[in-house]
A and B are shown apart, each in its own frame.
Chain A
């Protein structure tokens, strides 16, 4: 079995999926099932405080929590620090996620720009150092920059997660060569995180040598999220298999597949 491991934990599936933007919890549950994923990302947010007015009984702010819909015996939960713009915010959010959750893992995001949601590498590296000291397993979402990835690895990151394209953009892998170089340099798993639009993007990420792919919008935002999740399941496996199989070199001109001798009429 072609498994991969992060910080000593082994996964059979190389597809990691999110929980955001689904039209309903039941669609999300079916999509997760179809994806074959074993690891699922969640966000950490303030509980909506709603105290009943006019003397009525207090209303529970969350009769239904996200975790009510996720079988945590089947899926490994990866809390993120999405939306954090400073190392301090991200570290606080990671600590809260650890207490709310079931593990010391965190998908670390420190965003540097609102329009592109590109990471702030300096703050990301600083937050990685702090959290590694606190025994977190840190998976940082980073630019597709081999030098940034190396610095994160040196800071103790358990994997590096370069973006394929901006979060939610669906643009696909914008800089395939960088992903290839990151894979060549890294001694930790490389997970392409963000930018996948359709199945071929996920397959390409895997063909470039990525150890896994993380996506949310490409599945949740598809017209049929459950079918797209299945497509991504195939794509990640196909891309991985192709990577391991050793593709043929690219050539400028044709090279006939059928014999050139014994042609009728020659």
Chain B
């Protein structure tokens, strides 16, 4: 199935939790914030929220800025 990850199509084998998605991407969950279908998620819900076909996911972190 295909999801829209950070604006681009991304293939995942099946519906996954946000935690599983981050693990597949080798992203440390403590370092990022996640928006799922325009809703910003609390970190405590990463194990519960399931990402399905066509869902929009944004994963962000902090970078240098002024």
Identify the A interface with B (CB < 8 A). Answer: 18-22, 28, 41-47, 49, 51, 58-62, 65-67, 77, 79-80, 82, 92-93, 95-101, 167-168, 194, 214-217
Contact = CB atoms under 8 A, between A and B. Distances in A.
Given A46-B58, A60-B26, A99-B41, A19 B64 contact: yes
B64 A20 contact: yes
Contacts of A61: 25-27
A47 B61 contact: yes
A96 B13 CA distance: 27
28 contacts: A19-B63, A20-B63, A21-B66, A43-B63, A43-B64, A43-B66, A44-B61, A46-B6, A46-B60, A47-B6, A49-B10, A51-B25, A61-B27, A65-B28, A65-B31, A65-B62, A66-B62, A79-B62, A82-B65, A92-B38, A97-B33, A99-B34, A100-B32, A100-B33, A101-B62, A194-B66, A215-B66, A216-B65
A28 B40 CA distance: 30
Contacts of B41: 99
B33 A41 contact: no
A249 B28 CA distance: 59
Contact of A22 (B8, B26, B64): B64
Given A49-B25, A95-B40, A44 B66 contact: no
Given A92-B38, A97-B33, A43 B62 contact: yes
B42 interface: yes
Contacts of A44: 33, 60-63
Contacts of B8: 49
A39 B62 CA distance: 15
A62 B31 contact: yes
A20 to B, nearest CB: 4
Top 4 A-B pairs ranked by shortest CB distance?
A43-B65, A216-B66, A18-B66, A99-B33
Contacts of B59: 46-47, 49
Contacts of A19: 63-66
Contacts of A95: 35, 40
> Quick one: which of A22, A60, A214 has the most chain B CB within 10 A?
A60
B61 to A, nearest CB: 5
A45 B60 contact: yes
Given A47-B27, A51-B25, A20 B62 contact: no
A167 B42 CA distance: 33
